[in-house]
């Protein structure tokens, strides 16, 4: 049993890393697309000779993305009723991610007996916030007619799983580890550093369940919305895109793409023609 849990856990980490990288690579290697961006306000196109003016910097884009992700601004402004629970859930989730990072770092760098008591409070507050948010979202998704639309049964199962994971994590820390931060930290240290193989191969149900829940979420992560959110901001898709300036890298990519053949088959699209062949000279030549 212990061996299976170990295999699932480390396998899920490997899967998460490989699948996420594959997904990221797939999008990063996507061909340059036509521009289809949106604007949140005034742009460089309001200026005469806009092509000589500086464009939006990556820093400005990143700042905007950070504010969106931290505060879920669009939900706040456009869908306030949903935002309350969603925000509680996300704040809880962000705090839990940070808590785990802190836990791993502290477990490896300080003596376990020096584990601060506030660490426990941090973990519990984060879990409770995420739990309130998760239960709230689940109930709203069940009862609100708008939020129910097109939300398929599999998604409700996902939220139940979220709630179960959080409840189990709370149980493990509060009951199994007896609300002791040094005990939690000792366990993490032993696991990370492979100090207690006996426990690794014969885990208690509370920690085993937590590891299995974590594994399930690691497997799910590459298919979640998190990676897509990344591309929405950093791959020039949603907000003002990069103009094609003469002699630029963008122009070189454009030229390469225009040399591809058009693969569509409607009657007005001549078979085998390249995109670059749509200049009037070449079209007339082809007709003759």
Partner 1 sequence: MKKEKIRVGDISKNRDEQLLTITGEDMMSLPSPLDKGGFQQLIRPLTEEQRNDYECSLDGVSAIAIPKPKSKEEEDRLVERFLGGLRKLLSQNDNWTFWQQLLLSLESCVRCQTCGEACSIYISSGKQEIYRPTYRAEVLRRIIRKYIKKGGKFFAKVAGDDIDLNWETIARLAELAYRCTICRRCAQWCPLGSDNGLITHELRKLFSQEMGIAPREIHELGTVQQLNVGSSTGITPRALENIISFMEEDIEEKTGKKIMIPFDREGADILLLHNAGEFISWPENIEAFAILFDAANISWTLSSELVGYDAVNYGVWYDDVQLARIAIRHAEVARELKVKRISVGECGHAHKALVVVADRVLSGDLNIPRESVLPLLEDLVCNEKIKLDPKRNDFPVTLHDPCNMVRLMGIVEPQRRIVRKLCPQFREMEPHGVDNYCCGGGSGFAIMSSMNFQDWRESISGRMKLKQILEAFQDVIDPSIHKYVCAPCSNCKGQIRDLLNSHEAWDKYGILYGGLVELIVNAMVDLEKPFIEWEWR
Please report, as residue ranges, which positions from 218 to 257 form the binding site for partner 1 (by CB under 8 A): 225, 228-229, 231-232, 235, 237-238, 240-241, 243-246, 250-251, 254-255, 257
- Beta bridge partners of residue 38, listed in sequence order: 239
What is the chain's Cα-based Rg?
Answer: 26
Q: What is the per-residue DSSP string for 72-88?
A: -HHHHHH-HHHHHHHHH
Does position 151 bind partner 1 by CB under 8 A?
yes
**Of 33-41, 100-108, 169-177, 187-195: span binding partner 1 (CB under 8 A):** 33-41
Contact 84, 136 (CB under 8 A): yes
262-281: which residues touch partner 1 (CB under 8 A)? Answer: 262-269, 275, 278-280
Compute how many residues bind partner 1; rule: CB under 8 A.
Answer: 73
Does position 19 bind partner 1 by CB under 8 A?
no
Q: What are phi and psi of 194, to 5 degrees?
A: 55, 40
CB 129 to partner 1: min, Å: 20
C-alpha 174/C-alpha 171 separation (Å) is: 5
Does position 1 bind partner 1 by CB under 8 A?
no
Does position 78 bind partner 1 by CB under 8 A?
yes
Does position 50 bind partner 1 by CB under 8 A?
yes
Q: What are phi and psi of 239, to 5 degrees?
A: -100, 170
* 21 versus 258: smaller Cβ distance to partner 1: 258
Does position 35 bind partner 1 by CB under 8 A?
yes
169-228: which residues touch partner 1 (CB under 8 A)? Answer: 225, 228
* 16 versus 179: smaller Cβ distance to partner 1: 16
C-alpha 190/C-alpha 55 separation (Å) is: 51
Query: What is the distance of C-alpha 49 from the center of its chain?
Result: 38
* 78 versus 178: smaller Cβ distance to partner 1: 78
CB 252 to partner 1: min, Å: 9
C-alpha 41/C-alpha 44 separation (Å) is: 10
Q: Any idea how long the chain is? A: 288
* 194 versus 225: smaller Cβ distance to partner 1: 225
Here's the x/- map for partner 1, 119-148, by CB under 8 A: it reads as ---------------------------xx-
C-alpha 105/C-alpha 188 separation (Å) is: 10
C-alpha 154/C-alpha 140 separation (Å) is: 16
């Amino acid at each position: 049993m212990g061996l299976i849990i170990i295999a699932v856990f480390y396998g899920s980490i490997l899967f998460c890393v490989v699948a996420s990288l594959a997904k990221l690579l797939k999008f990063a290697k996507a061909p340059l697309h036509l521009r289809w961006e949106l604007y949140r306000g005034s742009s460089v196109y309001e200026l005469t000779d806009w092509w000589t003016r500086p464009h939006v910097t990556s820093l400005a884009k990143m700042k905007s993305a950070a504010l969106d992700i931290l505060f879920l601004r669009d939900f706040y402004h456009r869908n306030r009723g949903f935002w309350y629970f969603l925000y509680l859930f996300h704040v809880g989730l962000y705090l839990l991610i940070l808590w785990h990072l802190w836990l791993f770092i502290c477990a490896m760098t300080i003596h376990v007996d020096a584990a601060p008591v506030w660490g426990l409070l941090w973990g519990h507050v984060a879990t409770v916030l995420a739990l309130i948010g998760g239960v709230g979202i689940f109930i709203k998704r069940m009862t609100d007619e708008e939020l129910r639309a097109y939300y398929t049964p599999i998604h409700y199962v996902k939220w139940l799983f979220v709630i179960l994971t959080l409840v189990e994590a709370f149980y493990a820390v509060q009951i199994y580890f007896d609300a002791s931060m040094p005990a939690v930290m000792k366990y993490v240290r032993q696991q990370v550093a492979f100090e207690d193989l006996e426990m690794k191969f014969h885990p208690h149900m509370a920690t085993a369940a937590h590891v299995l829940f974590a594994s399930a979420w690691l497997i799910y992560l590459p298919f979640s919305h998190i990676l897509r959110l990344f591309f929405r901001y950093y791959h020039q898709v949603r907000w003002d895109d990069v103009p094609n300036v003469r002699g630029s890298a963008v122009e070189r990519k454009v030229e390469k793409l225009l040399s591809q053949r058009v693969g569509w088959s409607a009657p007005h699209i001549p078979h085998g023609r390249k995109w670059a062949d749509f200049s009037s000279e070449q079209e007339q030549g082809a007709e003759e």
